[in-house]
Structure formats: C-alpha cells, structure tokens
Structure 1
Amino acid sequence: MNKRIKLRTLLVGGFITLFFVVLVGRIYWVQVVKADFWSEKAREIWSKSETLIPVRGTITDREGNVLAMDVAAYTVAVNPKVIHDLHLEDVIVSKLHQVLGKPESELRAIVTAKKKNGEYYVKREVRPEGWKIDKPLRDRIEQFRKDLSEQTDKSDVGIYMDEQNKRYYPKDDMASHLIGYVDKEGNPVMGLEASLNDVLKGKEGQIVYERDGNGVILPNGTVKFNPSIDGKNVKLTIDSDIQHYVEDAIKEAYVKYKPKSITAIAVDPQTMEVLGMANMPDFNPNEYWKAQPADFYNSATKALYEPGSTFKIVTLSAAVQEGVFNPNEKYMSGSIKIPGRVTPIRDIKREGWGEISYLDGLKRSSNVAFVKLGYEKLGADRLINYIKNFGFGQKTGIELQGESSGVENINPSIANDVATASFGQGNVLVTPIQQVTAVAAVANGGKLMQPHLIKEIDDPVTKKTEVIQPKVIRQVLSEQSAKKVSEYLEQVVSDQEIGTGKNAYIEGYRVAGKTGTAQKVIDGKYSSDQYVVSFIGFAPVGNPKIAVYVVVDAPDNKYLGGGAVAAPVFRKIVLQSLRHMGVNPTLPDTVLTQQQEKTVSVPNLTELTTDQAEAQLKARSLSSVVVGTGKKVLEQIPKAISAVSPDQRVYLFTEDRSKLPIPNMSGLSMRDALEVCSLLQIRCVTEGQGFVISQTLAKQNGEKVLKLVLAPPNSAQIAEPQATAEQRINGGG
C-alpha cells in the first residue's frame, strides 16, 4: 500500500515537475528567445492608428470669391439595440422620415436591423438621405435626440451624428461644368475638381499611439505622428460677374428657344484667360445626384459641331494675309458649280443678290464668296494650312479633362472637301473652345494663344504662389492683317441694312463678329429642320477686352439663324461685361449728348424743408425717401450734383444720426449704401456686387451689423424686403 502511494506521488510529482520545466522553457522561449517578435505583436494590439485627412484646397474666382470649399458635414447613424431596448422604434422612424425625407419602410429596416445570429446591430448609418447632411438638418436631429434623452432619462437613445468633411459649392450651379464636383465618397468626378485633383487633394497623414485595454492612451507609450498636408488653393481666371452674365443670358435663350443645348464662352483675347464659360442644361454640384446624365456634359470643350459661317473668319483671315481679298472686287452671287459635286453650292438666298462686292458678300454671309476665296483663290494647300495653324484638329490645352481635338479631315484632292470647308461645313468639326481661341487670335493682333482657367496656385504650407502666365502658341496672322480682318468683321455688325450680325450691334461700342448657321448631320445626312446656330465676336475693335462665342444646338424654330438667336445673347453678355470692366463707349458727340440726357443731376437739398426737397426732386422725375420725423433736410444721399438714373431714389435724413431708423436700401448702389451705413454709424457687411437687393439687421457681439446682398444691374429684380420695426421709415413703406 505504501509502495503504491509512493509510486503515485512520484508519478504526480514527475508530471508537475515536467509541466513546470515545459512552462519555464516556454516562458524563456517567448520572453527571451522570441522577445522581439512577441513584443512587436503586443504593440500591434495596443497600437491604434488613425488617418489624418487633409483639407482640400479651395477654388475661387479671380477676385477671391469662393466657388468650392470643404465644410463640416454630418452622417446620421442609429443603434438598433439601444432603440429596441428603449422601445423608440416608432418615434425615431417617424421623426427621421420627417426631417430626412427617407421612406418610413426603409428607415424601419435600418432601425430594427439584426445580425444573422438574431442580435441587434449596435450601429447602422442612414444612407443616402442621412449621409453628409448640412448643419441645419443636423441641428434638427440633434435637438430631437436631446428631447428623447430628457424624456427617457437616458444619455444614449440610439441616435448618433458622425462629423466629417464634404465639398461645398457656395454659388450652387454657377460654373458647374467648369468646376465639376467631388462626390460624397470623396472622389473628384469631373471639371477642375478632377483635372486638378493632385493639386487640390493634399496628402493624408497618420498618428499611431499605444493604449490600454480600455482604449486609454498610455502615458509612456510610443507615439508616431506624420502630419497631413493640406491641398493647394486655386484662383481661377473666371470673373463671377461675367460668369453670371453668361449664365443669365443663355438661360433666357434656353427657355425661349428650347434647344438641345446652348453654350457660351467669354475670354480676354489679349491673354486667353477664360472670363466665363457655361452650358445649358447644367446641374447643382451640391445635389449632383438629382441631375440627368445629359446635364453633366461640358459642350464647351467636348461637343463637336460643323461651325458654319463663323468659320468663314478663318478663310477671310487667310485671304487677307495672302493678299487675295479685295473688298471692292465683284463676283456673281447665288450659286457656284464645284467639280465632282452633283448640285451647286448656293447662298442662303438661292437666287443671290446679283453681282456684289466681296465685302458685301461677307456682310451677307455669302457661301459663294467664300468658296471663291477659299477654293479658287487660296487653293487647297494654303487653306488647309491656315485651318491647322488656327488650331483646328488639335486640343487647345485648356485645363479640363476630356477635351476633344476636333476633326480636320479635308482631302486636298477632293474639290468638294475644300469648297465646303471654306464656309464651315463638311469635314471640319470644331469645339466651342477651339472656335473662340481662333477668333481671339484675330482680335489680339494675330497671336494664337492657349486658353487657360487657372490664374494662381497658392500653397498654404510653403506660402508660395505660382502665377500662370499667358502662353503664345504661334503667330498666325500679321498684326496688320488682323487689324484689317477686324475692321471687315466690324462692318458685319455695324451695317444695319445688310449685315447679318446687326443684332449684335451695341450703341457706342465698336463690335466685330460673325453669324453662323449650319445644318446638323443626322444618320449621315444633312437635316432639313435641325440647325446649329451661333455668333462669335469681340469688342471694342482696336483694343478688344472680351471675345464671346455663343452656339445654340437645334433651337425649336428652324427658320431662325445665328443672327436672330445667338447674336442677341452675345450682345447682352458683351454689353454687361464691358460696363462691368469699366470700358467706356466711344460715341459721336451727338450720341453722347443723348446718353447724358438719360441721367439726372441731384440738386442740393440740405436746409430745405422736406416738402420743398420732395418738390424739387419730383420736378426732376426723381423719387425720394424721408428718413426720420424732422421737417428739415440735414443730410442727403446721393450727394448734391451727383448724376443718377431717373429711377434712383434720393434719401433725405431729417434727424440726428443717433435717432435715425435704418431705411430700406433696395436699389441703392454699393457706394451709396455704404454712405448710408456710415451716416447711421452702423457696421455694414456686403455680399456680391452691384445694387442692393436685400438687407438683414443682426447683432454680433452686442453690436448691430447690417448685411447687404447685392447683384449686378438687370441680373435680378430688386426686391422690397419686409422691414423690421427698426427698419421702417416714418411715414413711408
């Protein structure tokens, strides 16, 4: 019995000894032999890595007005487990449906979502309606969450708001094709957002730190920090006011003529800076998911058109440069027979205008005149060479992805190819940006330049700014030839009897231009009822500040050409732009006198009674606004002797400034509005340029601040904002 006990004791003791030997050996192996390996594994478990997201660079116009920027956004998430435990399914589904507009059935599926094992999820995002929402929606949901928390006496009611960044476009659909957009996943999709992504996106950083089992950072732990690098800021050549004029004009025509699309590009021909570029239909990049596929198409750089008669500028330029254009030389208009072609090429007026000069042929946009100039006088080789030199069949190099190179496929041995190309049809297809680049070369003295959208790139890290300089590609015309062509094109507009461009005429300014009307090719054949109509031109002739191309694809009235549809759009854009740029008209004295009569001089009204002042203003057809309850005028705005338009209001201040109410300033210029604010000793902030369209009084740090929203003249109807008690004018509206 004792032997058996001893044997068992030895056996158990041996096993225990062996166990400890193995254990000690294993510990030695792990802690000594493989210490580095397991130490690294432990660090991986303790370590927490976070990606540091850089701020994407802003995009602004040439004056620094923001067109694209990063802003805070919020994603709504729910905890189905907590919501189930608190029995809040119905109330949360109902409220989120009301705020986000998401169907209740879809919300209920998210709020009650379970795993395969039957357990409720602890976090589910509400997508897409609750994904990266703006602060106003976030505030409503946050208030709802607080109310639920008070009602249930629970801090966690199963609704969370994850803060992130998203791309925001303050001007909504302004320049949408040009700027493009970044989707909610953070991917740049089109426009400058895509083509300049490497410049704008910056570089991600990372932080790695050690933590304990509760996720608390270890005080003596290792921290690795690689900071993020913010993206560079890009300033564009775009002028927001001119961009507005372009968009306003083409939207009006889009509604009126219901075309497939309409495009307009405005450039500075001296530098080829793009001042405005727009297409219709367009889209709002803040709500890109609501747009149709066709809304995203940037016709300005991608669409190919037979240019029609606007292309005659190239043929004319070549003929002038080569010395074969004599404006007084006569030819027989109507039709011309081309070898190898079954039917003759005809003018728009099939019987023609008889024997006329080549200058009259230009004014009337005679196809026959340009066939004779291009096919007969220049010949195939010279004509094709000029077409290539003006940049057709090649990309312009503008900073946008997907630019089309156009088509130049003229066979010099085929007479019909050469003849039709001379007036802009046949085997020549162009993009709008190519067309405006070519005509800008005529305007600026013969220099073909690369169009560009980027003015400056600013690096917020290094504080260095890269300025983009204008780039001359080649000299395509002599300065003297370009001057002659400009003067001939001016007559296309100024001749109000036979000039096809007469609807582009702007009183007081020298405008050059050319209309275009080209039949569309559908299924390989020229359509009898669908046309591409256009107008291209520049002003003022001699020192051009702006060149504009307008192209309208298939307007609903087939009988209206470029002179009727596109020229008025051109005129509206150019007139507003020249005024905006401070380019004064060069009118004959008689016309200047007539124009001066359209303004009224404001008399000196101080020290007069309000009745006397109002009577003097009424005699000059000026309206007045009395501010205050006094009977005598102490101050006036605009000041005495100011020249104003007849619809300008004159403000008459009748009390000490400390007692004056804030008047309704709708319709006042920025200068006069700021004078009113100065007089009232109130701080004023402005948004936009031009004339006041609305005003809002607020308090900031206890100080009264008046916010004025302005818009260019004719861009928006001047609204009469509802006046607060503090804004009402005594005895007025």
Structure 2
Amino acid sequence: MTDPGRTRPRGWSGGRPPRPPARPPAVLRLGNPGRRINISLIAMTFVLSIFAGRLIQLQGLDSKVYTAEAAKQRVQAEKLTARRGSITDVNGHELALTLEAREIFVDPSEVDAKKRDQVATVLAKELSQPKEGIAAKLADTSSHYEQVAAAVDPPVAQRIMDHEFKGVGAKHRYRRDYPGGNLAGTLLGFVGDDGTGLTGLESTYDKLLAGRDGQQFVETGAMGQRIPMTRNTLEAPVEGRDVRLTIDRDVQWAAQKAITDQVTATGARTGSAIVMDVQTGQVVAMANAPELDLKNWSKTPAKDWVNRSVADVFEPGSTNKVITAAAALESGAVRPDTLFTVPDQVRCADRVLRDSHPHAVERLTFSGIVATSSNVGTILAAHKIGDQKVGDQRLYEMLQRFGFGAKPGAGLLGEEAGLLPDWKSWSGSQRCTIAYGQGVSVTALQTASVYQTIANGGVRVAPQVVAGTTAENGAFTPSKPGKQTRVVGERTAKEISSMLEAAVSEEGTGHLAAIDGYRVAGKTGTAMRYDAKCQGYCGYSATFVGFAPADKPRLVVLAVVQDPQKGYYGGEIAAPVFKQVMTFALKSKKIPPTGTQPSPVRIRAGE
C-alpha cells in the first residue's frame, strides 16, 4: 500500500528508484606563485638573520672573548726566574750566592716501557737517589710530569740528556749555595725549594734579594710543540740586589770555632759569641754553637734554625753590674773610691743573698766591688741599708736607657726584647737581685750593646748587621748609620772602664781574659739559668764581655756559654773564649797596642 501523501517523480513507473545525480568533479586549482615566493623569502631572511646575528656576535661583540680563549689554548706562558742576589761579607766575599742549575723531570706516559728500568738506573746513579723512588714515578703512566730533581749541576744534567731518553727532560733553574757551609748559618738563613727566603737574612731581605721574575709567551700547537715564526713576547726578569754585611768572614770563622770548641769541651747546651765595632755599632761577627749547616738545613730540627744571639734570653748575672754602677755614679751617690764594708751575705726582705764564695768582712772601694764582682757590695751600693743610694726607679730607668726591655734594633729575624719588669712591681728581694743581674733577662746582642756604650764614652749606637745594598744600576748604597743615644756621661763611662780594666787584673775575676801587650777591660757573669723544662732554675749561664784596647776602645767581644757541665763560672768558661776571639780580631783588623799603662785602681781600703 502506497502512501498517498508522497509524490513520485515524474516518469517513474514503479520498480527501483533512480540514483541521485553524481557530484560534479573537483577542480584542482594551482597556488599563487607570488605568495609562495614571498613565504620562502621571509623564511630564508629569518634564517639568514639568525646566522648574521650570530656572526656579528662572534666577530664583533664577542670577538675579544673568543680571541682570548683561543690564545689561552695556543699561547703558553713560561716563567723566567730572576737570579737571586748575593749576600757578602764586609770585604765582598760571598757568603750566599746563586748558581746555574737544571731541574730534571720525566713524562712517564712518553717513556718507553721497555726502557723504564734503564732510565731509572741512569737517573738514580747520576742524581744519587734511590732507584725504587724513580721507578715508582716512571710507573705512573697516567701522569705527564714528575719532578725527579729540583736543582742539579748543569754537567750532571747534560750527562743525563746525552742518553736521549724519550720522556726525560731538563729545565733551566737556579740554586742557592753557601760556600761556608755553617759559617754564620743562623744569621744568613736559607731559602726553600721555591727560592723564597725562609729564615735569617734570606727572609728579612727576601724581596730585595729575589728581584722580579719575568715571563715569555710563546705559541704552541696541539701537541705542545712551539710554532715557528709566531708571536713571542718577552718580559725580562729583574735580577735581585746584593746585600753586603758588616760581618768579617775571617773574624766570624774565628769566633765560631772558639765558641763551638768551648761548648764541646764543657758539655754545654749552646753558646754565642759576638764581635762589635765600638764606634759604629757594626757587628763584625755573630756566631752560635751549634751552628746551622746551610747545605743540609732540611735535616736540622726547626728549633735549631734560630739565631740564638738575638733570640735566646737569659739572666745576665754580674755583667749587669756595670748598669748599677752607672746609675750609682750618675746619681752622685758614690765615687770610685767610696769605701763599703762588705760581708759575704746580706738580708734583703725575706731572703739572705750571698756572694759567690764565703769571705771575711772586707773593706772594698766601689771600684773593688765591681772588680771582684761582689753581689753584696753591689746591693749595698744600690740600696744601702738605712740610706738609699740609687733606688728602684733610678735603677729601672738606667736599665731602660741601656736598652733593656726593648729590641736592640739590628732588624734581625727573631730579635727578642728580653724581660724588664716595671720597678713598681719589684718584690722585696727582687729589688736587690736585679742590681746584680738576676730577675731581668736579655739577649747576647743586648749585653754586647751595653759594653759598646761604655766603651764608646757613654754613647749607644744601635747595632748594625747590614752595611748596605746594591741599587738597580749596581751601585752600592750604604745603610744609614746606627742611631746614637747618649746614655751616661763621658766621665761615668771612663770611670766604669777603669773598674772593668781592674776586673781583668790579677785581683779581678776576669784575669783569664788578659791579652799580652793590650789593655783589656771586661766583666765576668755567672747567673743561674731558668729552664722551662724543669720549671725553675737549672744550670748556669757563664758570660764574659769586654773591650780592647781599654784606653782607646775599638772592639767589643762577648762570649756566653749556656748550661756548661764542666765548671760554670764566667771567668773560667767564657773568659778564655773572649781572649781567643779578641786576640784574633785585633790582629785581623791590624789594631796595635796603645803602649800605655793603666792608672792604678784602689780595690781595698789601705791600698
């Protein structure tokens, strides 16, 4: 049944309905060529602009950065070590100098494995080193550089290089040499493997001696080979300047031998000997025992690197009595002939203080007190019972004027100021013991400076060790003269000199210091020695210091022996060293005897 409401297409007669008409075929349209070209040009322009921007950045904005980076890879800097200046004695003899040397190194990665044993054998023989240590370095093939020897003589290096071992090389170096070995060892000091001064004058004057290193810039290829005909920039090194000392090599040798022999003979711990010029304060010799061997300093304990003449402090003992004498004479309280009744002991506060040996009560002049080194007499002169003669403050101020409690001013490494307690803090007994040299501490150089002051008519000249230096043009530039300070009057100095001359007479404690044909003035010193190890006084410091000729002083000589085991009095232990050193120095400096006779000095009442 059909749906009367549907209409049929015209011409339809029943059966299968006709197919809908086919869709017309799509028409292929070609793109717009102009648009395509524009898009392509825009894309190309964008890409090219990126390349152009990068090019501008590389060649323009960042060109210096990349040039520098390239230079780092291509240009290598080679250090040109400056030659270190020499240290000479006052006559120009070299005490420390710089010699040509070579560093020997290996590149283990380049050494033929089959020849390692041969290379190790040759290097060990030429360098006097254990073969095992060298073989261990050669076995580390991951390394490209191993130092075998820091500084060897050029002939030794040449013999090694003559073998033409692949991977074995040599570099130009300098090495420091000390012709005298241990001569003035602790005074001179030494340099480390890098050429830097570590101790002594080598350290104090390191900047001046070292000069300034230079550099050489060369272009190298990827394998490290130098590219010929390329840039080569040179900054030449500036050689170090020379330092001339006031030390006389020959006198230094004599002083060093004398103090070393005595330290050995007495079984002492250490010793020092100093020779000074009276008028200039210049140090002619500064010797210590034991002394540092500069050729083998690395094998010496660090505690023995110090210059004991300026670093070790000790109580001066009776050598200090000249300062008490100066204070007493300057105050006008006593004169050289003032008489004292001197027992062998005296009570001071809570202590009984004694002379070095028992004796009956004596009537001594003040000159006799100094000449015989009486502790009790010195105390009486400084603090006479019931009638104060000098007083604590005046004695303290005199000690200061002579340089106690302050560094001597020689500018040496390790200089100590010693110990001078403020007079207000002195205990009852200390105010007596300080008068004869116990309760204060000094160095050997400070003590020598005291006697230089007396010998120089009461004028102290700051000690000097450096005579001058060379300028950049090689000309010698002398050091400024040592500072001069009037400490005591000339009359006081002469009166003390007479007392010291009497101390070297047969009646004095220093008769073993007498020198035939010369007038000698000097003083013994024997003090108990404070030792931190035993936390108290253990042993003694034996000292003698004096000058000659006594009436026209030219040289001061000090000898101090620390903790001698065979005897301990300064007149027995140190005075012979003084005599030996002074005798040599007078002859070496061609100082003749004055030919005069000393004025008589009254020691005791009734003389």
Q: 1:227 aligns with which of 232, 236, 240?
A: 236
- For residues 309-354 of structure 1, give each alpha carbon's deviation from its aligned partner in whole angstroms, at most 9, with x where no partner exists: 111111122222333333333333334434422x311101123453
| Structure 1 position 179 matched with structure 2 position 188 | yes
Matches of 2:301 and 2:220, distance apart in 1 = 49
Q: 1:482 aligns with which of 488, 493, 518?
A: 493
| Structure 1 position 264 matched with structure 2 position 273 | yes
- For residues 601-653 of structure 1, give each alpha carbon's deviation from its aligned partner in whole angstroms, at most 9, with x where no partner exists: xxxxxxxxxxxxxxxxxxxxxxxxxxxxxxxxxxxxxxxxxxxxxxxxxxxxx
Q: Where in structure 2 are the equivalents of 1:57-456 lying within 5 Å?
A: 57-85=85-113, 87-115=114-142, 121-126=143-148, 130-133=149-152, 135=153, 139-140=155-156, 142-146=158-162, 149=163, 155-208=164-217, 215-216=225-226, 219=229, 221=231, 224-341=233-350, 343-352=351-360, 354-376=362-384, 377-412=389-424, 414-426=427-439, 428-456=440-468
Distance 1:184 1:20, change over 3 A: same
Q: CA deviation at 1:204?
A: 2.8
Q: CA deviation at 1:503?
A: 0.5
Does structure 2 conserve the Cα–Cα contact (< 8 Å) formed by 1:538 and 1:546?
Answer: yes
Report the AA paired with residue 110 of structure 1. K
- For residues 521-571 of structure 1, give each alpha carbon's deviation from its aligned partner in whole angstroms, at most 9, with x where no partner exists: 2458754x61110100000012211101111110112x4311111000000
Report the AA paired with residue 178 of structure 2. Y
Matches of 2:552 and 2:430, distance apart in 1 = 36
Matches of 2:75 and 2:441, distance apart in 1 = 61
- For residues 443-491 of structure 1, give each alpha carbon's deviation from its aligned partner in whole angstroms, at most 9, with x where no partner exists: 01100111011111111x3344321232234211111221111111011
Q: Where in structure 2 are the equivalents of 1:535-550 lying within 5 Å?
A: 535-550=544-559
Does structure 1 conserve the Cα–Cα contact (< 8 Å) formed by 2:393 and 2:423?
Answer: no
Distance 1:61 1:370, change over 3 A: same
Which position in structure 2 is the counterpart of 1:53?
A: 81
Matches of 2:228 and 2:129, distance apart in 1 = 43
- For residues 277-310 of structure 1, give each alpha carbon's deviation from its aligned partner in whole angstroms, at most 9, with x where no partner exists: 0111121222211212332121111111000011
- For residues 32-74 of structure 1, give each alpha carbon's deviation from its aligned partner in whole angstroms, at most 9, with x where no partner exists: 4544443343344333333332222211111111111221122
Higher RCO (Cα < 8 Å, 6 or more apart): 2
Report the AA paired with residue 465 of structure 2. L
Range with bigger deviation, 472-481 or 533-542: 472-481
Does structure 2 conserve the Cα–Cα contact (< 8 Å) formed by 1:306 and 1:429?
Answer: yes
Which position in structure 2 is the counterpart of 1:627?
A: none
Q: CA deviation at 1:22?
A: 5.3
Which position in structure 2 is the counterpart of 1:607?
A: none
Q: CA deviation at 1:200?
A: 1.6
Matches of 1:173 and 1:522, distance apart in 2 = 27
Matches of 2:589 and 2:165, distance apart in 1 = 59
Q: CA deviation at 1:209?
A: 5.1
Q: Which runs of 5+ in 2 are unaligned?
A: 1-36, 598-607
Q: Where in structure 2 are the equivalents of 1:461-540 lying within 5 Å?
A: 461-493=472-504, 495-496=505-506, 498-522=507-531, 527=537, 530-540=539-549
Distance 1:410 1:27, change over 3 A: closer
Distance 1:88 1:375, change over 3 A: farther
SS at match of 1:71: strand
Q: Where in structure 2 are the equivalents of 1:1-80 lying within 5 Å?
A: 23=51, 26-80=54-108
Does structure 1 conserve the Cα–Cα contact (< 8 Å) formed by 2:116 and 2:135?
Answer: yes
- Using structure 1 for the length normalisation, give the TM-score: 0.71
- For residues 569-590 of structure 1, give each alpha carbon's deviation from its aligned partner in whole angstroms, at most 9, with x where no partner exists: 000000011011111224589x
Matches of 1:276 and 1:473, distance apart in 2 = 21
Which position in structure 1 is the counterpart of 2:13?
A: none
Matches of 2:228 and 2:121, distance apart in 1 = 44
Distance 1:44 1:522, change over 3 A: closer
Q: CA deviation at 1:125?
A: 1.3
Report the AA paired with residue 257 of structure 1. T
Distance 1:359 1:88, change over 3 A: same
Report the AA paired with residue 549 of structure 1. L
Distance 1:140 1:167, change over 3 A: closer
- For residues 361-393 of structure 1, give each alpha carbon's deviation from its aligned partner in whole angstroms, at most 9, with x where no partner exists: 222211011111122321112111111111100
Of structures 1 and 2, the larger Rg is shown by 2
SS at match of 1:395: coil
Q: CA deviation at 1:212?
A: 6.0
Does structure 1 conserve the Cα–Cα contact (< 8 Å) formed by 2:119 and 2:165?
Answer: no
- For residues 250-296 of structure 1, give each alpha carbon's deviation from its aligned partner in whole angstroms, at most 9, with x where no partner exists: 11112211211100111001100000001111212222112123321
Q: Where in structure 2 are the equivalents of 1:618-633 lying within 5 Å?
A: none
Matches of 2:594 and 2:326, distance apart in 1 = 26
Q: 1:568 aligns with which of 571, 576, 580?
A: 576
Matches of 1:292 and 1:25, distance apart in 2 = 67
Does structure 1 conserve the Cα–Cα contact (< 8 Å) formed by 2:343 and 2:361?
Answer: yes
Does structure 2 conserve the Cα–Cα contact (< 8 Å) formed by 1:537 and 1:548?
Answer: yes
Q: CA deviation at 1:415?
A: 3.2
Q: How many aligned positions are there?
A: 556
Does structure 1 conserve the Cα–Cα contact (< 8 Å) formed by 2:368 and 2:499?
Answer: no
Does structure 2 conserve the Cα–Cα contact (< 8 Å) formed by 1:337 and 1:345?
Answer: yes
SS at match of 1:337: strand
Matches of 1:362 and 1:245, distance apart in 2 = 30
Q: Percent identity?
A: 28
Which position in structure 2 is the counterpart of 1:731?
A: none
Does structure 1 conserve the Cα–Cα contact (< 8 Å) formed by 2:103 and 2:170?
Answer: yes
